[in-house]
Amino acid sequence: MACSLSAQVVEESLLHDRYLPYAQEAASDLFESLSDAPAEPGTFRSPETIRSLRSEGAAPLAGLRIVLDPGHVGGFWAKYEARNFRIHSDDHWVREGELVLEVAQMIQVELTELGAEVWLTREENHPVNPRPAHDYLAVAMKELPPPHWTAWTELKTYAQRVSDRATRLAVVTGDIAARARWINEVAQPDLVLSLHINAGAWPDPEELSLIESNHLHVLIFGCLSPSEYAQPHQARQLRRKLLNQSGPIERQLGRSIAAGLRESTGLPASQYSGDNAVVVPETDAYLWARNLMLLRMVECPIALLEPYVANSQAVYPRIQNALSRRAAGLPLADDDILREYADGVVQGLVSLYGPNH
């Protein structure tokens, strides 16, 4: 039966602090419009409900339905994603999509052994989006006006730019939308974890050199700018996330995963500058709210993980060592960075959804 939302479910301070921190008048108006709105419960269940339904003696995570989303794609497509670099010509390529796919597979094995039901949004380094790049050519041409000159070299360069842009739209924007649709309409899990590895700005893009910064943060949905909230589809997505009450669970989920990763990695919290993200209170600055497409589109609780800085002095050698050992068929090192990542995620999930919460 539908029930009315109350200020106890969607607190006005939550709208002001997390969802619309830079659009205070809009936050107040939205709160008023929600006061008599019927709730729209999703297909997901809270950690408390999942634990309460678990029979005595069951596996620690029995009943939990989870989707792991290995971020990006990797492989041939990494160059279009701008997730493809190496410092020296004889180094292994660092491709985020490939690294997090292995992390997701490690997590899937462990969670399955603990009784959870686990799906991955992708099983290989290939886009999920069924639409080919040429479907996005018209959009790419709108975004990239033609050159003023019609010399052959100018036209050839322009054609390549349009092709590259259309490919990026297919394997980034289009892929995120395809993953979200599959999660919402087919998998319908209790939660989603989108796995990523962070990277910092290069001091000199023309001559790559490693940076000192290395840190960790977890993202959940929030922090819409006034211009974003003014877009009808984004306003509808925010309203849906509020009405299905996924927000409080996302906060629980984000805090627990951040704690697990902090324990396994020992990394300090990240810091954002600017107004595209806001720290979630009482989370030691490890949990931030940000309006990313996947976070906004997925209807169930979702957290996006960003441990490590791949192009840092501390992390790059560890990634190279991990890739070298795999290429040589050697056992994983005791401090294998991908194993460390997976262990932190599993620890966070067991802490929240396990029997001893």
- What's the token pair of residue 50? 């999942």
Q: Can you identify the CATH homologous superfamily of domain 12-128+189-353?
A: Zn-dependent exopeptidases (3.40.630.40)
The torsion defined by the Cα of 75, 317, 322 and 352, in degrees rounded to 10, comes to: -90
CA torsion sign for 134, 304, 100, 104 is: negative
Give the per-residue pLDDT at 4.
Answer: 41
pLDDT at 150: 77
Neighbour-count burial for 236-254, b at 16+ CB within 10 Å, e otherwise: ebbeebbbbbbbebbbbbb
Cα–Cα distances in angstroms (integers) from residue 82 to residues 95, 103, 113, 182, 250, in the given order: 9, 20, 35, 25, 28
Residues of the chain with pLDDT under 50: 1-8
pLDDT at 145: 87
For residue 170, give every residue at least 6 positions away whose Cβ sits within 8 Å of its Cβ, in sequence order, or none.
Answer: 127, 129, 131, 132, 133, 135, 136
| 3-state class (DSSP) for residue 303 | strand
Closest CA to 74 of 88, 92, 94, 103: 94
List Cβ neighbours of 16 (8 Å cut-off, separation of 6 or more): 24, 27, 28
| Measured distance CA(188)–CA(299) in Å, rounded | 9
* Tokens of residue 304, six digits: 């996006």
pLDDT for the residue numbered 9: 54
pLDDT attached to residue 6: 43
Residue keyed to tokens 């634990």:
51
